[in-house]
Structure formats: C-alpha cells, structure tokens
Structure 1
Amino acid sequence: MSLRHYLRRPPAISATEAVRLVAQGAVIVDVRREFEWNRVHIPGAVHMPLEMLLARCMELPEDRLLITFCTGGLRSAGAANLLVENGFEAVNMSRGLIDWRAAGGPLTP
C-alpha cells in the first residue's frame, strides 16, 4: 500500500456511530494482523489484513458501507482511503478497538 493512503484523512466515524451503523447493516473490515485477530475481534467482522486488502478488496460487498478497523485507527485510515479509491463507500473508525470497547461494542475472544 502506498504512503499516499496515510497522508490524507479519510472519512471517519466514532466507535459509538460504528456500533449503530453495524446494527443497520454496515460491515466492519478488520485490517489487523492474524495474531491480533486471534486475540480478540468484533463478531461478524471481515478479517482482511492490511497487506492483503488491495488484492482481496473485490471480495467485499459493494452495496454496504464498509467501516475499516484496527487497534488504534492508523492502519485502518489508510485502508479506508484505499477502499474509497477503489470505488467502495468506506469510513475509518477512529481509535479502533480502544473506542469500540469503550462504546460497548461486542467482542469475541
């Protein structure tokens, strides 16, 4: 993934808003590494590590909002930009897992 994906601020939402949007049908795209996913993840999230995102993004639904997610929000910001450039409606969940947990979002250990 190019450095340019990290230089722009993608559309961003809070974890509280993400919890609400997921309940309405949005899809969480978890771009963390395998070991992070195995430790804890959001139920129903699509696991697509950042290094595989460009090669696999066509597997994602084109008719639903995609919410990119990582531990702190940096990797997922680049992922949201990449998805938008590839024609998806995507936003970054700022502060990632940290705020998701604080917003009461469900987690699977």
Structure 2
Amino acid sequence: MSLRHYLRRPPSVSAADAVRLVAEGALVVDVRRDFEWRRVHIPGAVHMPLEQLPTRCLELPEDRLLIAFCTGGIRSAGAANLLVENGFEAVNMSRGLVEWRAAGGPLSS
C-alpha cells in the first residue's frame, strides 16, 4: 500500500457511531494482523489484513458501508482511503479497538 494512503485524512466515525452503524448494517473490515485478530475481534467483522487489502478488497460487498478497523486507527485510516479509491463507501473508525471497548462495542476472543 502506498504512503499516500496515510497522508490524507479519510472520512471517519467515532466508535460510538460505529457501534450504531454496525447495528444498522455496516460491515467492519478488520485490517489487523492474524495474531491480533485471534486475540480479540468484533463479532461479524471481516478479517482482511492490511497487506492483503489491495488485492482482496474486491471480495467486499459494494452495497454496505465499510468501517475500517485496527488497534489504534492509523492502519485503518490508510485502509479507508484505499477502499474509497476503489469505489467503496468506507470510513475509518478513529482510535480503533481502544475506543470500541470504551464505547461498549461487543468483542469475541
């Protein structure tokens, strides 16, 4: 993934908004590494590590809002920009897992 994906600020939502959007049908795209996913993840999220996203993003649905997600919000910012460039409606969940927990979002281990 190009450095330019990290230099622009993508559309973003808070974790509280993300929890609501998921309940309304949005899909979380977790771009963390495998070991991070195995430790804890959001139920119903799609796991697509950032390194795989450029070649696999076309597997994602085009008819749902995609919420890019990682531990702190930096990797997912680049992911959200990449998804938008590929024609998806996508946002970054700022502050990632830290804020998701604080907002009371569900987690699976």
Class of the TM-score when normalised by the shorter of the 2 chains = over 0.9
Q: Percent identity?
A: 83
Match of 2:36 in 1: 36
Measured against aligned partners, the alpha-carbon deviations of 1:69-105 in whole angstroms (never above 9, x if no partner) come to: 0000000000000000000000000000000000000
Structure 1 position 60 matched with structure 2 position 60:
yes
Where structure 1 has 5 or more consecutive residues not aligned to the other structure, the ranges are: none
Equivalents in 2 of 1:69, 1:50: separation in Å?
10
CA RMSD of aligned residues (A): 0.2
Q: Report the residue type matching 2:26 in the other structure.
A: A
Where structure 2 has 5 or more consecutive residues not aligned to the other structure, the ranges are: none
Runs (4 or more) in structure 1 with deviation over 6 Å come to none
Measured against aligned partners, the alpha-carbon deviations of 1:23-46 in whole angstroms (never above 9, x if no partner) come to: 000000000000000000000000
Match of 2:19 in 1: 19
Equivalents in 2 of 1:3, 1:59: separation in Å?
23
Equivalents in 1 of 2:22, 2:31: separation in Å?
17
Match of 2:48 in 1: 48
TM-score by length of 2: 1.00
